[in-house]
Amino acid sequence: MDEIALIKSAQQGDLDAFNTIILHYQDAVFNTALRILGDEDQAQDAAQEAFISAFQSISSFRGGSFKAWIMRTVTNACYDELRRQKRRPTTPLEPETNDGEEIDSPKWLEDKNMTPAQKAEADELEHAIQHCLDALPNEFRTVVVLADIQGMDYSEVATSARVPLGTIKSRLARARLRLRECLRSFEELLPQTFRLNEKSR
């Protein structure tokens, strides 16, 4: 994929070129939104909004890392969604069984390669991590998602979050520190290799 050529075409209004870019970035955008918002439906909405907004403002892209630019669009969409939630809080509808009990592991999350026990363990771990991510302030969560989950470097994160490099460094350290503290309460869920150090307590 010649990204630069596609971006140039999209800047001239070529929607097909932009859709090719979307197909390349949609998983990263959706995962970022999912980890920042912690809800799949909201993440879908935010991702869709982000792509619409990105197409409408693609003429403002002046080069550099396109991933950082698109991630800035998605983080903005996520912040909008979080502000909306704050104004109008809603209760998420969890999938239920016929008896009215909540399903912890919905069918659409199932991985056929895993045994039920492994699946349950993986789900619990994911919930624990997401719980700790949700406990972080928005700006810390964004930085940690972009740097540690999306694997972006500091300068890309700074572009996406629109904050100086020094702030990224500081936020990331604070976020990791808080994550470490939060994950201690889920120690038994963590795989042996990720067990936190007793000495540092």
Partner 1 sequence: MKNFRDIENLSAYLDGQLSESESKRLKARLESDAELDSVLSDLSSARNILKFLPKRKSPKNFTLTRKMVGLKPPMPRTYPLFRLATIFATMLLVFSFSVNALSPYVSFSAPQFTFGFGSGGGGAPAAAEAPATEEAMMFESAPADAAATEAPAEPLPQSTETARTTEETPKPKEAEPETFAQDSAEGSENQVEVTNEAPIPFNWIILFLVISLIGGLSLYIMRQSASSKWK
> Could you tell me which stretch among 76-84, 88-96, 98-106, 148-156 binds partner 1 (CB under 8 A)?
148-156
Any idea what DSSP says for residue 106? -
Q: Note whether 36 binds partner 1 by CB under 8 A.
A: no
Q: Note whether 180 binds partner 1 by CB under 8 A.
A: yes
Measured CA to CA, the distance from residue 155 to residue 60 in angstroms comes to 19
Question: How many helices (H) and strands (E) in the chain?
Answer: 8, 0
Task: Please check whether residue 71 is in contact with residue 152, taking contact to mean a CB–CB distance below 8 angstroms.
Answer: yes
Q: Note whether 108 binds partner 1 by CB under 8 A.
A: yes
Tokens of residue 16, six digits: 């097909």
Q: Note whether 56 binds partner 1 by CB under 8 A.
A: yes
The interface with partner 1 within residues 63-82 (CB under 8 A) comprises none
Q: Note whether 55 binds partner 1 by CB under 8 A.
A: yes
Q: Note whether 18 binds partner 1 by CB under 8 A.
A: yes
Tokens of residue 108, six digits: 């659409």
- The only residue of 97, 113, 151, 188 in contact with partner 1, by rule CB under 8 A: 151
For helices 66-87 and 154-161, give the axis angle rounded to 10 degrees. 40
Tokens of residue 133, six digits: 């991510």
- The only residue of 9, 11, 48, 167 in contact with partner 1, by rule CB under 8 A: 48
Strand partners, 96: 102
> Could you tell me which stretch among 62-70, 83-91, 94-102, 122-130 binds partner 1 (CB under 8 A)?
122-130
Measured CA to CA, the distance from residue 107 to residue 17 in angstroms comes to 34
Strand partners, 102: 96
Q: Rule CB under 8 A: which residues touch partner 1?
A: 13, 15, 18-19, 22-23, 26-27, 29-31, 34-35, 40, 44, 47-48, 51-52, 55-56, 108, 122, 126, 129-130, 144, 147-149, 151, 153-154, 169-170, 172-174, 176-177, 179-180, 183, 190, 194-197, 199-200
